[in-house]
């Protein structure tokens, strides 16, 4: 290749950059937003599963015989602590994910 060919290639490339740069930026931006949306969907599905399991465990604790109300109280506190810990850890992972 001679110098004229390189000049032609560089002129064509520089002439098309104003078209390619915005298209590339838009593709990267859309890809990032899509991945954020999918991550949010997964996190809310996980929260829904946690809420459903909380309700079922709470019902099981309430359905226990009332022979030992102190045990029921301890079980309920343990359940609330565990569920709170799950949700807090999930929020931390969400906030610091890049």
pLDDT at 27: 97
pLDDT at 56: 93
Answer yes or no: pTM beyond 0.85. Answer: no
Can you tell me whether residue 82 is helix, strand or coil?
helix
Is residue 55 within 8 Å of 63, Cβ to Cβ? no
Q: pLDDT, tens digit, for every residue of 1-60?
A: 677 888 888 888 888 888 999 999 999 999 999 998 988 888 888 889 988 999 999 998
pLDDT at 97: 61
pLDDT at 1: 64
Domain ranges of the chain: 3-95
Which pair of tokens denotes residue 37?
A: 């949306």
Q: pLDDT, tens digit, for every residue of 71-98?
A: 888 999 999 998 888 887 776 666 566 5
């Amino acid at each position: 290749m001679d110098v004229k060919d390189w000049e032609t290639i560089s002129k064509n490339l520089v002439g098309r950059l104003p078209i390619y740069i915005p298209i590339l930026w838009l593709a990267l931006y859309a890809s990032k937003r899509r991945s954020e949306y999918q991550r949010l969907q997964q996190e809310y599905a996980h929260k829904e599963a946690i809420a459903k399991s909380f309700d079922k465990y709470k019902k099981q604790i309430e359905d226990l015989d009332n022979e030992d109300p102190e045990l029921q109280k301890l079980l309920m506190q343990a359940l609330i602590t565990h569920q709170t810990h799950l949700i807090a850890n999930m929020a931390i992972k969400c906030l610091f994910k890049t």
